[in-house]
Amino acid sequence: MNIVTNINEWRQIRNNLTAKKTVGLIPTMGHLHAGHVSLCNRSRAENDVTVVSIFVNPTQFNQASDFDLYPRTIEHDCDILKSHQVDYVFIPDAKEIYQDGYQVQVSENTISAELEGLSRPGHFNGVLTVVLKLLNIIQPMRAYFGEKDYQQLLLVKKMVNALCVPTEIVGCETIRDKDGLALSSRNTRLNEMQRKQAAHFPRLLQSALKPEQIAEELKTLGFKVDYIVEQWERRLGAVWLDEVRLIDNFLF
């Protein structure tokens, strides 16, 4: 496995790959778990070369404290990727990615104006901007995203289509723990008691209750509810459990 830390180094590698070799990209912010591994396995099955990017993107965080607290486990992540035979890991720093100081941004004004966009102003500008940069740098045939962040997946697909980016965006099924909670890097911030409480969120989200009933039940259980809605043929929800924000969705 090769670790690449700057754009020019990757471009030299990319130029040396034969035209017949297909490249798959998994964009991540690190602190990898079984969900990320499933994306790597999918990419390896469908491409000749698999690249995983690890970049904690500062422009998609609404709170500096959330950015600072985001877990960073580069050595452990690289061990995981090496054991799953990933070919390249791209680990740039913020100065490399935002050479313009984030003066140029990608925005969308419809899907991004609701749900996560309402709760986290500017979040999707940061997401779309960094994803477009990574697609332009890596130049993959396919890029893989989990369906847990379903609104994000819709926006990335829309951006790629609108801006004529020659990359197929592949949505992959959410990977869950035994108790049904969607795997997320943020979950490691939950203590044992919170972790048990968090399992109520996916259980209720996929129940037969109506969205407003689910919201009331979650509040009774100690959650702060951002939204529970039925949209895009999905039931989507976002809640706070103390200082940790959880999002999830199920096919409706």
Q: Which residues of 102-134 are buried (b: 16+ CB within 10 A; e: fewer)?
A: eeeebebeebbeebbbeebeebbbbbbbbbbbb
Give yes or no for a contact between 140 and 16, defined as CB atoms under 8 angstroms apart.
Answer: no
Give yes or no for a contact between 70 and 29, defined as CB atoms under 8 angstroms apart.
Answer: yes
Give yes or no for a contact between 25 and 53, defined as CB atoms under 8 angstroms apart.
Answer: yes
- What is d(CA 23, CA 220) in angstroms, rounded to the nearest whole number? 47
Which one of the listed residues 36, 84, 123, 200 is annotated catalytic? 36
Q: Measured at the alpha carbon of residue 90, what is the angle toward residues 86 and 93, in degrees to the nearest 5?
A: 155
Q: How far apart are the first and last CA of the chain?
A: 40
- What is d(CA 55, CA 150) in angstroms, rounded to the nearest whole number? 20
Provide the angle, in degrees to the nearest 10, between the axes of the packed helices 34-46 and 74-83.
40
Strands of 109-204 (E only): list them.
142-146, 168-172
Asked if 36 is an active-site residue, the reply is yes
Give yes or no for a contact between 21 and 49, defined as CB atoms under 8 angstroms apart.
Answer: yes
What's the one-letter identity of residue 33? H
Give yes or no for a contact between 123 and 60, defined as CB atoms under 8 angstroms apart.
Answer: yes
For the annotated catalytic residues, the residue numbers are 36
